[in-house]
Structure 1
Amino acid sequence: MEKLKFTKYIDEAIQKEIDDARIAGAQIALYKLGDESGKINEFYRKCYGYADKENKKETKEDTIYRLFSMTKLITSVAVMILYERGKIDLLMPLSHYLPEFKDMMVLDENGERPAKSQITVQQVMNMTAGLVYPDMSFKAGVKMQEAYDNVLYANWKSGKEMNTEEVVKLIAKQPLEFEPGERWRYSTCADVAGRLVEVASGMKFSEFLKKEIFIPLGMKDTDFYVPKEKQDRFSVMYDYDWEKMQLKVAGDNFLGLGDYLNPPKFESGGAGLVTTVDDYAKFACMLANMGEYGTNGERILSSNTVDFMTTNALTDEQKKYFCWEQLKGYGYANFFRTLEDNVAGCTNATHDFGWDGYMGDYVSIDAVSGVVILYMQQKFGGCDNSLIRRIRNIVYGGIDEIEKIV
């Protein structure tokens, strides 16, 4: 394929991150749906730097990455598969499936009080349930942090790892930050959704994902752990040492996820999966093709469902709390950001849905132009928001060139 002129600007942007020691390595891949139904064209791919800087292991195309929050998109598709089969009703109370969520408490300035209404499944999928992540900056977050520290992490350290059901029941015992449906708050909702899949399907979460998504799409390196024979391909996880102004190897067990080297008992629907670029690209391209992947027509979801699940579901009031810098111009639904106003977002993309992860992984899916952007790195705190905006704008700045060549 003829080299695309704009890709040199992507290389310059990512290489500068490595040269400035902000990341150890990265990988980017760009895809475009072809005119032939289901055909996927990979029109650019490049690896940068190291997957393991200390041992001089370069980033390769088959490097395995922790997905962290990009796991949520796969969990969303799992829920929607069951939604299409009548096994999950989004408007039903969550307690219909998970009774431990029936009598929730809300923590406000006066202490804990009973919630006025029950959490619905739809509120879980839209992060408006009132659930929280561990966070020391507000009261309900502190309660969740204490629960994780004193129960989840303590059990893990003592060799008594909790399973998915036990972790979700622990979450259910903690107070909500606000009344269900009142606001948006990034939270443990996707972990709850993973358990919901287990109850609605009668299968272990990992088994359901393999049967319904990974095997049909040929995602052979995606799982909740990296088996021994693949561990030499597993990227090191880095953090930034602000005192020494350099990268350092990060510790394991973030959010109770362990070291990913053995099958975990807790299969986190919010952050637990590992994958490769090739694997996740199959998943993303399936969504870009409105639920169908490959020339053999492997359909995971209907086009109607993909359209529904990637259309903003937040009210104007809820959107006031959906205010991260990188989310300007976006709405949210079913664990996906979804572009509504490209002017507000200062992006030349006109259609985009996807999400990113705490290690810096990022996916942009455009079901109109058929373009998919997939970027992987492994550093705590996510990637530079400016870098992602620049990569996206470089790609869409070259959209006419892409249309001519790809």
Structure 2
Amino acid sequence: MLLRMSAIALMFVACSSQLPSAEPEFDAAGLQRISERMTEFVHRGQISGAVTLIATPDRVVHLAAVGKTGPATDQAMQPDSLFRIASMTKTVTATGLMQLVEQGKLSVDDPVEKHISSFTGQKLKDGTPSRPVTIRDVLTHTAGLAQPGGKETEGLNLEQIVDLIGRKPLEFPPGSKWQYSSGLTVAGRLIEIASGESYAEYLQRHIFDPLEMKDTTFRLSPDQAGRLAVTCKPGEQPGTLAAVEIPDPTVERTPNPSGGLFSTAADMARFYQAILNGGQLGDVRLLPAARVQQMTQILTPGLVTGFTPGNGWGLGWCVLEKPQGVTRLLMPGTYGHGGAWGTQAWVDPQRKLIFILMIQRSGFGNSDASDVRDAFTEAALSAYHGVETTTAKFTEFHGYSRAVELTLGQPRARAVLCPQAGGRVLEYYVDGRRALYLDDEDRPRTDGKPASMSAGRFDFGPELTVPAHPEIWSGTWTAEITGPHSARLVSPHSPKAGVQVLRDFELHPPTLTGASRLSCRQTLVNVSDQPREYCHWGRSFSPGGGICLIPLQGTSRFPAKYAMYEDSAIINVRNTDEKIRERDGFLEILAPPRKPKLGFDSSAGWLAYLRPDNTLFVKRFPVDPDRVYNEAAGLTLSVWYPAGPRIELEPIGPREKLQPGDAASFTEDWWLLDHPFPAAGENIDLKRLREQVERQTAPAR
């Protein structure tokens, strides 16, 4: 059952099937799967309970609680349970400071010493004078601030703590590297100086009260303390948990701008909704949209930042640059923050979604890279299907009930994707021309057998060494509409191959000199705990009976410029075949050769297939002669051309050496052009064909 958003409940319940829809589409069973996945961690003794939340700019579409509030209690976790959100506090502090920047009371480029005298004349640890630390430096964790010890700050107020930080020598020259620090503590003191209010009072008056965040505070009431989840650690026996003793949350302490807040999932959702909406929620405006953009863009280019790979840093916010590992399913530009006790909150501005995970635990390693976060994100996005429009929607096609159709107007272009059997392209069509061979028997199956050899497939190799992966080759994928002409398909995990695959497809309109194209980007993610080697492998099928053209570029290692796969896996590099000829800088495969599988090492980065109906199917793909190609015989391209109704066109990528969590992508671009098929006894004008391909399919990357 597919759901569209309605009013908040513990689970999202209303549905609609109107097309086109302006609302995101969620799968009810998929949303329920979030709680099931969290319950698995409860049963394994990794968490005592959890609260999960998904929100859009104006609605909460999923809010659920599982498990208990602690390991030694029968108190069920509730949607309004409170949590220590630790460093998630930093994003709130940064937002408060940016309000004062907007008011002109300070600037992010101000030296901190302009406002706090203890930062005057700072030096490095070796005594070398340093340039002044700026507010930008402290917000991006690039200031080089030394961390005061816990006992050093006992009994001190915020002013005294920040003065202590300012008097310490710097760890490194400001701006030269990223190092997690107490910079947001300095930001909290700057709020006090610029506003004339205490830090906690400022947040209460200017953020919490306006947004009606009634359970967000630095000090709990007795009633709130009764709803506080217990922080857990691994117990003495495997699979058990023990409570962590924490300071009394009802006792007043110096508010910690870097990590002192208590909150609920629903409260934090209101804060993140305001940020996602460009600084505004309802009638309440926290910041202008330009300030939100400034705060949530990457300001640390070239620096290694964060606690998971692929991140940059904004003004108090972690910003995802290159999704991989635990962030692999999120979009670039996603921003948010985690907390030391396991809480996570992330805003995906491309999808306009908010993901909040509330757990409380210690001693389980890096919370930003936790398996609980990974499972929550994957379950949440598996339930999300995007926003349907008239040009990107779910439809029935060739017996598949949940195919994805992407269309363009003029020229009329259509791509149909199949998440139900292997994440394939079932059809690519431009102005009456079709690229793919689709077998009539290629229908949904219930016997567990793979679909027939047809349509636009993709795979990964090396063919002879990568374990079989039927879950990916013919299993059920999830599908998400990502734009007006684009969609993403995501595979299940393959335990044996240790990989998960993401495929992003987009129809592009014609350029001034070029034709419409379909881009197909495959991303391989190593989801195992071991290093792996893969290569990308396109495997699309077109109708047989045409002429395949391989442009020759670079020095071939094969005397015949191609290799033929003989019986018993013998690769013949000295073969000659009357159906294959070299002419005018091309290899022409005129008809099915003696053996159907051929391999090539050309570095041209494209191939073409001309059909008798005057359709020229062109594929472009990247080739790097300086990299290792680990498919058999070091191929950059393969063709399988048997007698019968189809031919398989197979671009191959270079070796990808991926550590656990690493990702690598490979893109094919497809065009369908008009070009005359030669009459009997005539040849293709290869010079004209090359000029046409170069003119109409100029590389887009």
| Contact 1:28–1:45 (8 Å) recurs in 2 | yes
Paired residues, number: 362
Indicate which of 276, 281, 284 corresponds to 2:269.
Answer: 281
Higher strand share: 2
Higher helix share: 1
Deviation at 1:350, TM superposition (A): 4.5
| TM-score, normalised with respect to structure 2 | 0.49
| Contact 1:349–1:393 (8 Å) recurs in 2 | no
CA–CA separation in structure 2 for the residues paired with 1:20 and 1:9? 17
CA–CA separation in structure 1 for the residues paired with 2:70 and 2:378? 29
| Structure 2 counterpart of 1:255 | none
Is 2:169 aligned against 1:175? yes
String of CA shifts for 1:100-153, please: whole Å, max 9, x gaps.
11122322xxxx3143211111100100000144xxxxxxxxxx33xx33x33x
RCO higher in structure (CA 8 A, sep ≥6):
1
Indicate which of 276, 282, 301 corresponds to 2:287.
Answer: 301
Give the % identical residues: 25
| Structure 2 counterpart of 1:240 | 234
Gaps of 5+ in 1: 34-39, 134-143, 156-160, 253-257
Indicate which of 50, 54, 75 corresponds to 2:93.
Answer: 75
| Structure 2 counterpart of 1:102 | 120
| Structure 1 counterpart of 2:357 | 375
Indicate which of 250, 268, 276 corresponds to 1:261.
Answer: 250
| Structure 2 counterpart of 1:50 | 68
Indicate which of 320, 343, 349 corresponds to 2:331.
Answer: 349
| Residue pairs, 1:149-298, within 5 angstroms | 149=151, 151-152=152-153, 155=154, 161-241=155-235, 246-252=240-246, 258-264=247-253, 266-294=254-282, 297-298=283-284
| Contact 1:348–1:397 (8 Å) recurs in 2 | no
Indicate which of 53, 67, 76 corresponds to 1:29.
Answer: 53
| Structure 2 counterpart of 1:12 | 36
| Structure 2 counterpart of 1:138 | none
| TM-score, normalised with respect to structure 1 | 0.83
| Structure 2 counterpart of 1:37 | none
Deviation at 1:69, TM superposition (A): 0.2
| Structure 2 counterpart of 1:127 | 141
Deviation at 1:299, TM superposition (A): 0.8
Larger Rg: 2
CA–CA separation in structure 1 for the residues paired with 2:368 and 2:142? 25
| Contact 1:115–1:179 (8 Å) recurs in 2 | no
Give the letter for the 1:387 counterpart. Answer: V
Is 2:332 aligned against 1:338? no
| Contact 1:106–1:115 (8 Å) recurs in 2 | yes
User: Secondary structure at the residue paired with 1:22?
Assistant: coil
Give the letter for the 2:289 counterpart. Answer: S
Q: CA RMSD in A?
A: 2.2
Shift in CA distance, 383/92, structure 1 to aligned 2, threshold 3 Å: closer
Deviation at 1:174, TM superposition (A): 2.4
| Contact 1:32–1:372 (8 Å) recurs in 2 | yes
CA–CA separation in structure 2 for the residues paired with 1:68 and 1:179? 27
String of CA shifts for 1:1-30, please: whole Å, max 9, x gaps.
246232243223211211111111110011
| Contact 1:349–1:392 (8 Å) recurs in 2 | no
CA–CA separation in structure 2 for the residues paired with 1:312 and 1:79? 18
Give the letter for the 2:285 counterpart. Answer: R
CA–CA separation in structure 2 for the residues paired with 1:267 and 1:250? 21
CA–CA separation in structure 1 for the residues paired with 2:387 and 2:35? 17
Deviates more, 1:121-130 or 1:2-11: 2-11
| Contact 2:44–2:239 (8 Å) recurs in 1 | no
Shift in CA distance, 166/43, structure 1 to aligned 2, threshold 3 Å: same
CA–CA separation in structure 1 for the residues paired with 2:240 and 2:160? 38
CA–CA separation in structure 1 for the residues paired with 2:239 and 2:382? 34
Shift in CA distance, 245/8, structure 1 to aligned 2, threshold 3 Å: closer
Give the letter for the 1:41 counterpart. Answer: R
| Contact 2:86–2:339 (8 Å) recurs in 1 | yes
CA–CA separation in structure 1 for the residues paired with 2:265 and 2:242? 24
String of CA shifts for 1:246-275, please: whole Å, max 9, x gaps.
3222133xxxxx4321221x2111001111
Deviation at 1:298, TM superposition (A): 1.1
Shift in CA distance, 370/194, structure 1 to aligned 2, threshold 3 Å: same
| Structure 2 counterpart of 1:85 | 103
User: Secondary structure at the residue paired with 1:270?
Assistant: coil
Deviation at 1:383, TM superposition (A): 6.2
Deviation at 1:242, TM superposition (A): 6.4
| Contact 2:344–2:357 (8 Å) recurs in 1 | yes
| Structure 2 counterpart of 1:385 | 370
| Contact 1:289–1:367 (8 Å) recurs in 2 | no
| Contact 1:26–1:377 (8 Å) recurs in 2 | yes
Deviation at 1:55, TM superposition (A): 2.5
Give the letter for the 2:65 counterpart. Answer: C
| Contact 1:4–1:401 (8 Å) recurs in 2 | no
Gaps of 5+ in 2: 1-13, 16-26, 395-701
